[in-house]
Amino acid sequence: MPELPEVETVRRGLEPAMTGHVITQADVNREGLRWPFPPDMAARLTGARVLGLRRRSKYILADLDRGETLLIHLGMSGRMLVSGLQIGHFHHDHPAPEKHDHVVLTMETGARITFNDARRFGAMDLMPAGDNHPLLAALGPEPLGNMFDADYLAARLKGRNTPVKSALLDQRIVSGLGNIYVCEALFRTRIDPRRLAGSLTAAEVAHLVPVIRTVLEEAITAGGSSLRDYRQVGGELGYFQHSFRVYGREGLPCPECGANIRRIAQSGRSTFFCPSCQSA
DNA sequence: ACCACTACCTGAAGGC
DNA sequence: TGCCTTCAGGTAGTGG
């Protein structure tokens, strides 16, 4: 589910509820999600103050006092919902617990952060303060950061015999893109997703970099894309899905040329593209 | 080293 | 109504 724009939207939404505040209660309702939770997770969270929230790729990192950082991944269906935030005179009540509410953090303010994840592909772990976690070790650069530029991407795609679609999904090359935004970026650059990564010209790679940035920034501005599970922290839908040009639009007309959008499978994932605009 | 594929899990949607 | 199949925003691990 959540790709970089969705995770960044969640991070921003958690900020007012968490940053600077103490976690007064941690309710952990199962042993783990994709992996077991770390030992004594509830006790290690209880009483900790959240110093700040960062995002690395599709991970949210909550820096705690006491020298630990909480790592969160939403997997495919994970949601973080905030309730009970006091806004002016309006008090938002806590909703009834729902199926798949796995971890609930209660803050000193009375706000509550609920991690809900139907498919349980998400993850939570605690690590020593910083970025030193095995899941972060091999990640490529942030697509919105300075390290990600045409020279870098060209070097990483060079010699690769996998389709460019699959290469851009590889988090070791660039971290944070997922199926939606790769399809959308390739459409906007008119690059055929079936092309081998190593076959792209320097000009095509140079075009791809700023287009990837633009797509991600537009999606963040829209609060992400809501297809089924994803919600912003207040339960609101994102609305970038209304701006999809090819993703999920099989059989519909291409917004550029009117040809029918096609869906194919690449590395076991659906790829949507315009067979006319994006022809090798 | 590289690449394709499986597995993990639940739920929604579509066909019959 | 219900059963069965397919598909879904991710990614670690396996095996060719």
Which residues are bridge partners to A52 per DSSP? A63
Query: Are the C-beta atoms of A87 and A47 separated by less than 8 Å?
Result: no
**Strand B close to A163 by CB, under 7 A:** yes
Task: Using the CA of A34, give the nucleotide whose C1' is nearest.
Answer: B8
- Dist. CA A29–CA A200, nearest whole Å: 48
Residue A2 annotated in active site: yes
Query: For residue A280, what pLDDT is reported?
Result: 74
Q: How far is the CA of A89 from the C1' of B8 (A)?
A: 45
Residue A165 annotated in active site: no
**Strand B close to A162 by CB, under 7 A:** yes
Residue A3 annotated in active site: yes
Task: Using the CA of A231, give the nucleotide whose C1' is nearest.
Answer: C9
- Of A11, A44, A58, A231, the catalytic one is A58
Q: Which residues contact A87 (CB under 8 A, 6 or more apart)?
A: none
Residue A269 annotated in active site: yes
**Strand B close to A138 by CB, under 7 A:** no
Query: For residue A160, what pLDDT is reported?
Result: 96
Low-confidence ranges of chain A (pLDDT < 70): 1, 88-92
- Dist. CA A271–CA A190, nearest whole Å: 14
Q: How far is the CA of A108 from the C1' of B9 (A)?
A: 34
**Strand C close to A42 by CB, under 7 A:** no
> Could you say which nucleotides of strand B lie within 7 A of any protein CB atom?
2-12
Query: For residue A214, what pLDDT is reported?
Result: 98
Query: For residue A229, what pLDDT is reported?
Result: 87
Determine how many CB atoms are found less than 10 A away from the CB of residue A113. 24
Task: Using the CA of A224, give the nucleotide whose C1' is nearest.
Answer: C9
Query: For residue A93, what pLDDT is reported?
Result: 82
Handedness of CA A143, A163, A244, A274 (dihedral sign): positive
Number of H helices, E strands in chain A: 7, 12
pTM flag (> 0.85): yes
